[in-house]
Amino acid sequence: MKNTYPIFILLPLLLAACGKEAAAPRAVDRPAATLVVGALATDNGNLYTGEVHARYETVLGFRIGGKIIERMVNAGAAVKKGQVLARLDGADTGLQASAASAQLTLARDELQRYRELRAQGFVSQSALDAKETALTAAEAQAGLARNQAAYATLTADRDGVVSATYAEVGQVVSAGQSVVRVAQHGEREVLIAIPESRFTSLYVGMPAEVSMSATDSGMQVRRGHVREISPAADPASRTYPVRVAFDASNAGVALGMTANVRLLGKQDKRMALADSGFLIPLTALFQQGDKIAVWIVAADRSVSLRPVSVEAYRDDGALIAGGLKAGERIIKAGVHKLSEGQKIVIIEDGSAS
């Protein structure tokens, strides 16, 4: 026979078990990505990569349309002023020139006959005037036809080097279509692209340093200045083309070289402070009311908010003008998941501590 216990014996035990409070969960430190505020930030946002171009470049094309039957130059070829670069099929222009020449001969003969008839009184003066006008028109038409025939030959308008070709033999091109680009010998400059956020800080004449490693003597740094700033942004990249010219001789600088340009000029307070602040990631900023703050990590790994002064927002981060000191550790990501006094597990360069 099974042993049974009265319900009144088990009930107090159950009530006692239910009356015990659940153990409080142990606080777990949250992992957080951090960084140590380093030395004063330099204006790395002023470093751009560009390509060496000639100051004067001309894109050449035929003044009439037609089929290219010959192209005498390729990219990199040195050319002289007046040198033939390409030719179009001249069959049609030749026929037009022949027809215009025949009409001119006829007009001259007609005028000569009418002058003789006028001298004899067989034709009126108005008829003679009409023939003279016809001769003038025929001469103009013949000149136009000769020009059209000459336009079938593309020649260089200056000494230089062919920097690019845009059309091949057998291709049918329209009037004005690009065929070759000729870069004039002499001055060189670097073409760079400036983002919208930096556009207002530039000015013509702004000093710059241009460094190039693809030279015979290794890395070279040359002085330069901003020569031209495009007033319109590129529709695709939304950047502004800027040309930086060399201050001294550019011997040894070849077209197409890659160059790093550092813009040095600072004219206003905003840019001056850019050389004396701390550059931190934008993800480290925390909105505290109407102010900006960052999480500071203490020695015991607890975090606290501290207001900071943001001088400028750049593509590579926020420039802090006040509120931070070199050597302080801050949270660089996940700032909205923290609370005041919370302790964290420091994560830096993929390792936790």
pLDDT per position as a tens digit, 158-182: 898 998 899 999 999 999 999 999 9
- CATH code of 91-150, in short, is 1.10.287.470
User: Rounded CA gap, 67 and 244, in Å?
Assistant: 39
**Residue 8 or 67, more confident:** 67
3-class secondary structure, 20: coil
Helix (H) or strand (E) holding 81: none
Asked if the model's pLDDT at residue 42 lies above 80, the reply is: no
Question: Tens digit of pLDDT for each residue in 122-149?
Answer: 889 998 899 899 999 999 998 998 988 8
Q: Which of helix, strand or coil describes residue 134?
A: helix
- At 32 the pLDDT is 83
- Contacts for 79 with CB less than 8 Å, ≥ 6 apart: 73, 85, 156, 159, 160, 161, 162, 182
Where residue 192 falls among pLDDT bands split at 50, 70, 90?
A: very high
Q: Specify the CATH class of 59-88+154-182 in words.
A: mainly beta
Site of tokens 């402070």: 273
Q: How far is CA 246 from CA 40, 210, 227, 266, in A?
A: 29, 8, 9, 19
More confident residue, 343 or 46: 343
Tell me the sheet residues that pair with 308: 292
Report d(CA 129, CA 135) in Å as an integer: 10
The residues of the chain that CATH labels 2.40.30.170 are: 46-55+186-268
Topology of domain 30-42+273-352, per CATH?
A: 2.40.420
Give the model confidence (pLDDT) of 103-112 as tens digits.
999 999 999 9
pLDDT value for 255: 82
Identify whether the C-beta of residue 85 lies closer than 8 Å to the C-beta of residue 71: yes
The H or E element that residue 149 is part of is helix 125-150
pLDDT at 267 over 50: no
In which residue ranges of the chain is CATH 2.40.420.20 found?
30-42+273-352
> Is 61 a residue whose pLDDT tops 90?
yes
Reference 64, options 144, 180, 159, 129; nearest CA is: 144
Q: Which fold has domain 46-55+186-268?
A: Elongation Factor Tu (Ef-tu); domain 3 (2.40.30)
**16 has a pLDDT exceeding 70:** no
φ/ψ of residue 26, rounded to 5: -75, 130
Residue for token digits 């470049």?
A: 57
pLDDT, mean of residues 182-186: 87
HEC-encoded secondary structure of 168-197 = CCCCEECCCCCCEEEEECCCEEEEEEEEHH
Q: Which two tokens stand for residue 61?
A: 């094309």
**How many CA atoms does the CB half-sphere of 26 hold within 13 Å?**
2
In this prediction, residue 273 carries a pLDDT of 41
- Nearest residue to 202 (alpha-carbon basis) of 165, 240, 167, 237: 240
pLDDT over 50 at 271, yes or no: no
Q: How far apart are CA 287 and CA 274, in angstroms?
A: 22
Counting residues of the chain whose pLDDT is more than 90, the rounded percentage is 31
Q: What is the length of the chain?
A: 353
User: Start-end ranges of CATH 1.10.287.470 in the chain?
Assistant: 91-150
Pair of tokens at residue 209:
């340093």
Write out the H or E segment, with its range, that includes residue 194: strand 188-195
- Residues near 266 by beta carbon (within 8 Å), at least 6 away in sequence: 43, 272, 274, 275
Instruction: Report the pLDDT value the prediction gives residue 275, as an integer from 0 to 100.
Output: 42
Q: Are strands 30-36 and 344-348 parallel, antiparallel or unpaired?
A: parallel
Instruction: List C-alpha distances in Å: 331 to 32, 41, 66, 304, 349.
Output: 7, 18, 66, 10, 13
Total Cβ atoms within 10 A of residue 26: 5
